[in-house]
A = this chain, B = another copy of it.
Amino acid sequence: MKDRKPKNIFVQGAIPPSFIADSIQKHSTQTTIGGHSIFLGQVRADMINDKKVASIDYTTYEEMALEKMQEIREGIFEKYDLTCMHVYHSLGNVAAGEISLFVFASAAHRKAAIQACEETVEKIKAELPVWGKELFEDETYQWKENKQSQ
């Protein structure tokens, strides 16, 4: 288990809603599932010092991030009675209004799915080596900072 190659979670650019629909559709054959909990992170057009965020450019330390994500997954599967869990994170440019994070937990009963999804989102925000550079409409930028559990 520990030595298996970590799954890739990264996708180039925004995560399209049709991709999310396909993921949901694929679970219709898994008829032991009773509940899915999904979290989607969407890029906000925040106003910072009178300048509007137009997009976020995401970068990562990929080898380390995939190992860390594998470790997070294993912890979650030990703690919750899940049927399956899928995580996707954008790299590169994601425009305001588009989806950059997709966490999808499924279980026989809703509590496990909901709690596993929430905990995974918190761990991704806190532990995954990913950085977002907020690009303003005037082509200047600032580096994004995650606040604790907001």
Asked whether any CB of chain B lies closer than 8 Å to the CB of A31, the reply is: yes
B38 touches A40 (CB 8 A): yes
With an 8 A cutoff between CB atoms, is A25 at the interface? yes
A1 at the interface (CB under 8 A from B): no
A109 at the interface (CB under 8 A from B): yes
Give the size category of A's interface with B.
35 or more
* Cα separation A25 to B135 with both chains bound (whole Å): 22
List 19 contacting pairs A-B, 8 Å CB cutoff, sorted by A: A17-B21, A17-B22, A17-B25, A24-B40, A27-B97, A28-B98, A30-B97, A31-B44, A32-B45, A33-B42, A35-B39, A36-B38, A38-B38, A110-B121, A110-B150, A111-B149, A111-B150, A114-B118, A114-B121
